[in-house]
Amino acid sequence: IRGQCPVQPWRKKWMPIALLILTNSLYGQHDTVLIKSAVQTFFTGLHSNDSNLIKTTIDSSCFLYSIMQKKDGNTLLEKEGVEEFLLQVTKMKGQNLDEKLLSYDIKIDGVMAIAWTPYKFYFNGQFSHCGVNVFSLIKRGLQWKIMGITDTRRKQGCDELH
């Protein structure tokens, strides 16, 4: 047939596989954007003392943990209730809470994801502490919701974070 390119047999075999890989890659990128957006919206709420905005990002099962090393070398694990946290955010109205996220490392497995975000925290413009947040997220329908946050807190070794 004149003017038509024949399809190479190897293309028939590999084209569906290439399309599947491309589709999965694009799907994963879309989820990565949505996960990062959920985390950013959480911090927009924190920075503006808006507990209602924070509530839009968290799942009803959300947990909050902080891990710190005490001066005596022992490790301290603190659990904070979500409602208590939201109340503290509201009470800080007028205070400048600035958690600067240094990077994002997002891992996804189906409807579960984590976002690893090193940070430096400033209170009213003064450095307070640094550490790493680990956000655990769950996909509910088309939305990613934060189902837990575990963070570390320290004052030394902050320049090593990125």
Torsion of CA 96, 87, 161, 137, to 10 degrees: -130
Q: Taking Cα atoms as reference points, which of 77, 64, 68 lies closest to residue 128? A: 68
For the segment 8-47, what is each residue's pLDDT rounded down to a tens digit?
555 556 555 555 454 444 445 799 999 999 999 999 999 9
For the segment 98-140, what is each residue's pLDDT rounded down to a tens digit?
999 999 999 999 999 999 999 999 999 999 999 999 999 999 9
User: 110: left (phi > 0), else alpha (psi -120 to 50), else beta?
Assistant: left
Opening angle at CA 13, ends 10 and 19, nearest 5: 115
Which residues face 77 on adjacent strands? 67
Kindly state the tokens that stand for 150.
């575990």
The per-residue DSSP string of 88-110 comes to HHHHTTTS-EEEEE---EEEEET
Which residues 6+ apart lie within 8 Å of 92 measured at CB?
49
